[in-house]
């Protein structure tokens, strides 16, 4: 079955609006016979007359009014599509779909706030999950970009490092080890630790660090968020190992203290990540460049040990 073309719809729309083949031809910069041929082509496909001439005037038949209604709806949808595609091409009004691991959430939201300050029209969706869930979203192509720790090989992902991420040992301010220098790993191994859930990048780094030294973590409790660990450490339920960048407020208010342990901090890094074969939208590309620029995240920002 032959189908009507967009060109035919546009020609008939002009004819129906003007109720004149000659005026429609002028609007479309076509000859009048070319316009008449397009309308006759529609009629041939539908098997129905769309116009009728009474005297010198042209009128639409009932079928013609139906086709006009359809052509107006199609034209409106095409105009909307063009407008929406134009928005996608603009870094000031597009959609940005991001994911971040929970450990880097503070860094990610700070970067987003400054990016939105430059591009207030951008619509942002940020999903905060653990490392395994973020990797799943990347591999499944459900997000544009992710901000997270180093990704494993073999997943077809492109990861660019942009900031240091030191992991430190935290304790309540009144813990006996607070204030001591060069605390040995042997002393630390006798302490109970509050750990993140399986799949967390922080937990993985922590376990590798202890295993490399022939030590085993004494875990007293497993928790699914950094905030829960901070609260539990403050309550004296054990020690924790978290990113220094998540502790700014607690350290300033002296609710937590960083222990000076040999081998610490565990220096990790933050990466901006996307599928290696993904063609980034203008908004996603602009955000990636912003993250990697000094004005975005402070590329190469050095680590400075806090004062307890």
Domains of the chain: 6-88 (1.10.10.10), 95-163+269-292 (3.40.190.10), 166-267 (3.40.190.10)
Compute the distance between CA of residue 146 and CA of residue 112 in angstroms, rounded to an integer.
Answer: 12
pLDDT of residue 149: 85
| pLDDT of 31 above 90 | yes
Question: How far apart are alpha carbons 34 and 235 in whole angstroms?
Answer: 83
pLDDT of residue 302: 34
Average pLDDT, the chain: 85
Measured from the Cβ of residue 53, the count of other Cβ atoms closer than 10 Å reads 9
Which distant-in-sequence residues (6+ apart) come within 8 Å of 301 by Cβ?
163, 164
Task: State the average pLDDT over residues 94-104.
Answer: 87
Tell me, rounded to whole angstroms, the distance of Cα 114 from its chain centroid.
15
More confident residue, 39 or 219: 39
Q: How many CA atoms lie within 13 A of 111 on its CB side?
A: 30
What is the pairing mode between strands 192-196 and 218-223?
parallel
The model's pLDDT over 198-224, given as tens digits with 9 standing for 90+, comes to 777 788 888 888 888 888 878 778 888
The answer to whether the beta carbons of residues 96 and 124 sit under 8 Å apart is: yes
Quote the pTM value: 0.61
Q: What is the pLDDT of residue 177?
A: 92
Output the pLDDT for position 220: 74
Task: Give the SS3 label for residue 30.
Answer: coil
Identify the bridge partners of residue 199 per DSSP, sorted by sequence position.
none
Residues in a beta bridge with 146: 99, 273
Contacts with 160 (C-beta within 8 Å, 6 or more apart), sequence order: 271, 272, 273, 288, 292
Residues 244 and 170 sit within 8 Å (Cβ to Cβ): no
Q: Collect all residues with Cβ–Cβ distance below 8 Å to 101 and sequence separation of at least 6.
A: 128, 129, 130, 131, 134, 146, 147, 148, 149, 200, 201
Collapsing DSSP to helix, strand or coil, 244 comes out as helix
């Amino acid at each position: 079955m032959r189908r009507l073309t967009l060109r035919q719809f546009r020609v008939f729309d002009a004819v129906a609006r003007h109720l004149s083949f000659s005026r429609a031809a002028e609007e479309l910069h076509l000859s009048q016979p070319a316009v008449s041929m397009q309308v006759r082509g529609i009629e041939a496909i539908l098997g129905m007359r769309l116009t009728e001439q009474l005297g010198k005037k042209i009128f639409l038949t009932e079928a013609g009014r139906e086709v006009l209604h359809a052509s107006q709806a199609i034209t409106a949808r095409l105009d909307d599509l063009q407008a929406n595609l134009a928005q996608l091409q603009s870094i000031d009004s597009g959609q940005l779909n991001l994911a971040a691991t929970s450990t880097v959430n503070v860094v990610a939201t700070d970067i987003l706030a400054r990016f939105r300050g430059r591009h207030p029209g951008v619509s942002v969706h940020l999903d905060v999950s653990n490392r395994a869930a973020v990797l799943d979203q990347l591999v499944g192509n459900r997000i544009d970009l992710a901000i997270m720790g180093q990704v494993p090989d073999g997943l077809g992902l492109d990861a660019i490092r942009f900031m240091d991420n030191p992991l430190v040992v935290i304790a309540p301010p009144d813990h006996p080890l607070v204030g001591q220098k060069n605390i040995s790993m042997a002393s630390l191994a006798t302490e109970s630790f509050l750990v993140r859930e399986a799949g967390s990048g922080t937990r993985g780094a922590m376990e590798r660090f202890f295993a490399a030294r022939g030590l085993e973590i004494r875990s007293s409790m497993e928790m699914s968020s950094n905030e829960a660990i901070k609260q539990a450490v403050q309550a004296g339920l054990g020690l924790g190992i978290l990113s220094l960048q998540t502790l700014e407020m607690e350290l300033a208010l002296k609710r937590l203290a960083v222990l000076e342990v040999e081998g610490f901090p565990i220096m990790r890094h933050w990466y901006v990540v996307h599928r290696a074969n993904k063609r980034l939208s203008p908004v996603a590309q602009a955000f990636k460049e912003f993250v990697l620029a000094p004005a975005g995240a402070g590329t190469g920002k050095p680590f400075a040990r806090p004062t307890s």
